[in-house]
Structure 1
Amino acid sequence: MNTVSERLAPELCVDYLVDYDEVVRFGVETGLVDDEQAAVLRALASRHPDVAVAEWTLVRGLREDLYAACYEGGPTEPVVREHAEAVAAGTLARAGDGWEWSFAVDLALPRRRLALAAVDLLLRDDLDRLAQCADAECGWVFLDSSPRHNRRWCVASDCGNRNRVRDFYARKQAATTGVVE
């Protein structure tokens, strides 16, 4: 969900998943796709650009469906449908002490892995710790692992500082003008 910056301020909103290559880069960065798979995916995308664009669109749709389910009271059915399609396309196999999904390396691989991760997120026991940044524009999501569960900002040094400075300036202005909010 955090591939959109300033989600809550449409005039400032930036979507970082601008094309299929960025989906692959995100997959590598998050460990959903390894470097070897990424090379295959990029080659496939160059040979089948229309399919890559379709997959890019589906990944963005999955992201928005997950966000809507978590923060806008939207239905979970679209996310569950993506999950079911991923499960149908995969093979569950023993891996070390556990089990792992295996998929063909095709252009749908990042979406399938994201669908599994999305449902894993929705099924967490500590989903009540899933929070959205308190910044009025940000909209990033994080898992609050603070000891008192009172984290407010996605990144304290970014949104936190910006909001603390904004609040300080507003208090200074109020003290100077005598206007109290």
Structure 2
Amino acid sequence: MVVSNRSDANVYDVNLVGGNVCLDFTNTLYWRGRKDCEELIKTYSDFINWSLRVKLINSDQAEQLQQKASEYPEKAEKIRLRAIKLREVIFRIFNLHSEHLDVDEEDLDRLNFEWGRRMITSKLVQDPNGFHWNLNGNEESMDWILTPILVSGIELLTSKDIRRVKRCADSDCSWLFFDQSRNRSRRWCDMKDCGNRAKVNRFFKRRRSDTV
């Protein structure tokens, strides 16, 4: 993860190292492995801006959602909290699987529940190229932007590539990432950041041990 001034950290600073939309979404919590971790999705607007940054929505859709959030602030906050809850469910599922541990049934139930809510509003549509699912459903709603995150998560969970999902070896970071290395040997979410910090720490530990 990018180490930034914690008081100024925002969705524009967060490093997109997950390699997958749903993994990048789980990484919107700075220093996940610490007790004093920092939330980046502090408002519904943050959620919109993050979605815009990762190209889940376009600028017109973002503007429409921002307008609705200003009209219905309480509803916007409830959706933000739902998004955070979903994020943590996705994190726990992938994290436990990466450790070869059983996933909590409650988390699977929650993921299925959210998926079911989105499918209710989805529909089969036709265009010049044929038929396809419009999973976004009613874009007049304020929670439809959860859909592409859910799709990303479920597609990855049900693919053989799930074995490439790992957690950063820096326990303070604990971000998830998709390991695209040939032999799946990658250990850090970002070698230039967490990986380099680990190298520096090992260097100073060796120096201290040499002077004892």
Q: Pick closer, same or farther for the CA change 1:119–1:166 going to 2, 3 Å.
A: same
C-alpha contact 2:136 2:145 (8 A) present in aligned 1: no
Q: Pick closer, same or farther for the CA change 1:61–1:68 going to 2, 3 Å.
A: same
SS at match of 1:10: coil
* Match of residue 136 from structure 1: 171
Written as runs of structure 1 = structure 2, the 5 A alignment for 1:1-181 is 1-11=26-36, 13-72=37-96, 73-75=103-105, 76-94=108-126, 96=129, 99-100=132-133, 101-105=135-139, 106-177=141-212
Larger RCO of the pair (alpha carbons < 8 Å, separation 6+) = 2
1:94 Cα deviation from its structure 2 partner: 5.0
SS at match of 1:151: coil
1:102 Cα deviation from its structure 2 partner: 3.6
Which of structure 1's runs of 4+ aligned residues deviate more than 6 A?
A: none
Deviations 1:3-62 (Å, cap 9, x if unpaired)?
A: 111101112x11111110011111112222111111100000000001000000000000
TM-score normalised according to structure 1 size: 0.90
C-alpha contact 2:136 2:148 (8 A) present in aligned 1: no
TM-score normalised according to structure 2 size: 0.78
SS at match of 1:126: helix
Q: How high is the sequence identity, in percent, across the aligned residues?
A: 24
C-alpha contact 1:5 1:139 (8 A) present in aligned 2: no
- In structure 2, stretches of 5+ residues that fail to align are 1-25, 97-102
C-alpha contact 1:58 1:111 (8 A) present in aligned 2: no
C-alpha contact 1:93 1:102 (8 A) present in aligned 2: no
RMSD: 1.7
* Match of residue 19 from structure 2: none
Letter aligned with residue 27 of structure 2: N
